[in-house]
Amino acid sequence: MTTKKKKTTKKQETNTIKPKEPIKAVLSGERVTTENSDQSRELYNQSRYGILLNNGRVQLSLIESAYLLEKGVLETVSASNRKIDFEKFIKKAIKLEPNFWTRYCVFKDIRNRGYIIKTALKFGADFRVYDRGVKPGEDHAKWIVYPVQEASALTWYEFSAKNRVAHSTKKKLLMAVLDAENDVTYWEIKWTRP
């Protein structure tokens, strides 16, 4: 097994639409649901955020919502209609998911580079990432991503398990390492035969 560092060159802004007015959304538990609007559907169709529901609304993950909230694309309120700004949203998300900040920083970095990133729980990973220009449903994801803190440690068993998941899903494995300055470095891991 060898590791190869993936270059972290200049960041490229995504093609996330920026509506004239932020899209209204409600935080309920671990999900955020947008209003039924053309803007919500356009956000899904253009950039593949969330899941398009039958009622025309888009259901977003906490991470997608935080990203869109920070970008000014989303305006989030609680179930009791209280506005939730970015800082409050992050605090709530960290209470629900202790590793949220690490995962968010990786999500944000990958989205800012122009890739579509989605959750990958069904694959046994944190995220799956599609090559530029590819939308989910049109082709398969190219990578699975595991975000980790720079100071954290993995056992060989954990490391091997992550490699097996990547191999069994026919995807490349990226370890996304977040440092103290919230910068992300990517390591692409591959199996090699001697």
Token representation of residue 51: 């899941």
Residues 86, 166: Cα–Cα separation, whole Å: 33
Would you name the residues annotated as active-site residues?
130, 140, 171
d(CA 163, CA 61) in angstroms, rounded, equals: 26
Class of domain 23-96: alpha beta
pLDDT tens-place string over residues 44-103: 988 899 999 988 899 999 999 999 999 999 999 998 999 999 999 999 999 999 899 999
What number is the average pLDDT over the span 166-193?
91
Domain spanning 2-12+114-190: which CATH class is it, in words?
A: alpha beta
Within the chain, residue ranges assigned H as helices are 38-47, 62-71, 86-96, 100-112, 156-168
Provide the pLDDT for residue 109.
97
The strand order across the sheet containing 127-130 reads 2-6, 184-190, 172-178, 143-149, 127-130, 116-119
Residue 190 vs residue 18, higher pLDDT? 190
* Whole-number Å distance between alpha carbons of 91 and 14: 25
Q: What dihedral angle (degrees, nearest 10) is formed by the CA atoms of 86, 90, 111, 120?
A: -150
**Tokens, residue 153:** 């440690």
Question: Would you kindly state where each structural domain of the chain is located, as residue ranges?
Answer: 2-12+114-190, 23-96
